A and B are shown apart, each in its own frame.
Chain A
Amino acid sequence: MKELNHETIERLMVQSIDRMVASAFGESGLDALERLMKCVKKIYRHLPFEGLSMKRMIVFIAITSSLSLVGKRGRLVSTYEELAIYVQDTGGICQMIEEDRFLVWDLSESDPLNLSSGAIVYENHDFVEKIYFQNQFVVLPEVYKGGGSVLSSPTYWDLEDALEHYDIRLARRSTCQILKECWYDDRRILFKDSPEKIMRRSLEQFLRSRMQADVRPEQNTDETHPIDLKVSWGTITALIEIKWMGASIKNGHLTRHYPSRAIQGLAQLCNYLNAERTSSPHIVVRGKLIVFDGRRGGIRIRSLKATRPSKYATKEIEFPDDMLRHRDMLSPKRIYMEVFN
């Protein structure tokens, strides 16, 4: 049985935040560190780390004085929900005074290193997390590949991961048993009539089995436009709109959907997001457009062939900038569905 490596233990001990905080502030420092991390974790239950639109957030607990370390008088906030709303757009500085009582300021008021002379300070600056104490700091390691915080459960990044898997393993070659039903022919040149219902069912089944989230189909965001899928992690939500491009056939007649259809979908999603922001300001919502792309070049209906089947394989959709820049929009995903060779 292999024993723990002594050198590893010694190295980790040197890097240990607990040890450093204990030597800086003693027992009260360790107590503050634990309360600070709990506090940040609670904030991220209302404000998903991965979907943050603000650039910087600072949270601290004073050790040397019960008085505020920030010059100006702060605004008192008494719930985590309210705190999340305050910081979600522009960021801010929060001082935890006691359980569920905070003072908040604008970011311009102070910097974390100065604060740390008498406080334990957490900072998230562009997804880099640091803990400051007594004029020094340690960087918290990333938990997931490409980012992620130990203080937050994965939400939107988990969704992006899942969609990537769905794209490569299940949709691209139509290996998903449900999705393959959307094709009219075996070579995958034409879609059946109204393939979006099959696409939605395929994606819904996949996300349900893959994600630790509540996945529901056709949710009304307003009276006229239901959204295709809604994925929720508590008060954090992703609205998914599904569109397709290519040609479908019904009674010998083709219906073609072009990139304008995808752009229309993104515009619809912008409207949903605006409606959600007005009706449920306490819920964090992001939108995701999924475009199933089955376009083929030079379709011959009689022979069910395409002279340039992969013409659009790498042809991305040009979406209007203002829609892509919508504060609550995640990047649209085009899933190119290959022809069968």
Chain B
Amino acid sequence: MNTNALYDVLYILDSVEDLSAGLRSDYLHGVLYLSCLLSLVDGQTVSQWGYQFAETTKGGPFSDDIYTAVEFLSKEGLLEEDTKVDRVFIGSEGKEKLKKLKVLKTLYWRNRFHDAVAYALLRLSIQQTIAALKREPTFEQVDRLKKRSILFDETSVKYIRKGFDLIIDLIGRDASRYLRLVSVMWLETILEDWKNADAEGVGL
């Protein structure tokens, strides 16, 4: 079991609990993919994040580790699932577990990235957020003929960082809550560029 994935699932579901009636399972993979992307802002590497994401024939971003974590947490009664509407929620036991995990040094460094994602979900709808992620240049470039393509290689990480740096140059890395602003601005820019490209009749 990947502890990072397990923690991330609990943390993000707890963060959005008050704002939406749970999360659709494919959206859960999507928002945690955004957390992982944001960790690159601070110079982290994808391997430091602790698990990978892939684009599969059934869609993406998808992580085996998140999938396994959700299954495990549901079986243990820490998550609740509403299969009728395909939603997953954090349960009261899940909250207790999260409280214990939050104090661990090996995990709490991840909170700021999840907090920035939760803020983005306040400012953009979940549908807009996922739409932006799927139009993010590295994701767009994935070879969809392959059954499974691991997201992020050295070139794509370089491009993602470059995009973040353009935004940080304007915000300033010392600005308060800069990570929150980066997450919102990055998603809004992708959506806006896509809208403009669409209006001009060219794909991004």
Contacts and interface: CB of A to CB of B under 8 A. Distances in A.
Nearest to A236: B21
A303 interface: no
B84 A214 contact: yes
B184 to A, nearest CB: 7
B73 interface: no
Interface stretch (A9-17, A169-177, A187-195): A9-17
Given A3-B137, A16-B181, A9 B19 contact: no
How many residues of A sit at the interface, in one of the four size bands? 20 to 34
B185 interface: yes
**Majority DSSP secondary structure for residues of A touching B:** helix
Contacts of B24: 212
A66 to B, nearest CB: 22
B166 A9 contact: yes
Contacts of B122: 34, 37-38, 41, 151
A4 B163 CA distance: 6
Contacts of B18: 38, 41-42
A150 B137 contact: no
Interface stretch (B38-46, B49-57, B170-178): B170-178
A77 B119 CA distance: 26
A8 B193 contact: yes
A12 B159 contact: no
B141 interface: yes
Contact of A41 (B19, B84, B162, B171): B19
A6 B168 CA distance: 12
B92 interface: no
B204 A18 contact: no
Nearest to B163: A4
B125 interface: yes
Interface string B89-125: 0000000000000000000000000000001001111
Interface in A1-35: 1-6, 8-13, 16, 18-19, 22, 26-27, 30, 34
B193 to A, nearest CB: 5
Contact of A6 (B87, B156, B166, B175): B166
Contacts of B167: 4, 9
Interface string B146-187: 000000000110010011001100110001110011001110
A234 B175 contact: no
Contacts of B190: 4
B22 to A, nearest CB: 10
A212 B84 CA distance: 9
B20 interface: yes
B199 interface: no
A4 B125 contact: no
A213 B24 CA distance: 12
B175 A13 contact: no
A168 interface: no
28 contacts: A1-B138, A1-B159, A3-B162, A4-B186, A4-B189, A4-B193, A5-B189, A5-B193, A6-B166, A8-B192, A9-B166, A9-B170, A12-B185, A13-B171, A13-B185, A18-B181, A26-B176, A30-B177, A34-B122, A38-B18, A41-B122, A45-B20, A45-B21, A143-B125, A143-B128, A150-B124, A213-B85, A214-B85
Chain A to chain B: the 6 pairs with minimum beta-carbon distance, closest first? A4-B163, A1-B137, A37-B122, A41-B19, A27-B176, A8-B192
Given A4-B186, A9-B170, A13-B171, 4 more contacts: A22-B175, A45-B20, A143-B128, A151-B122
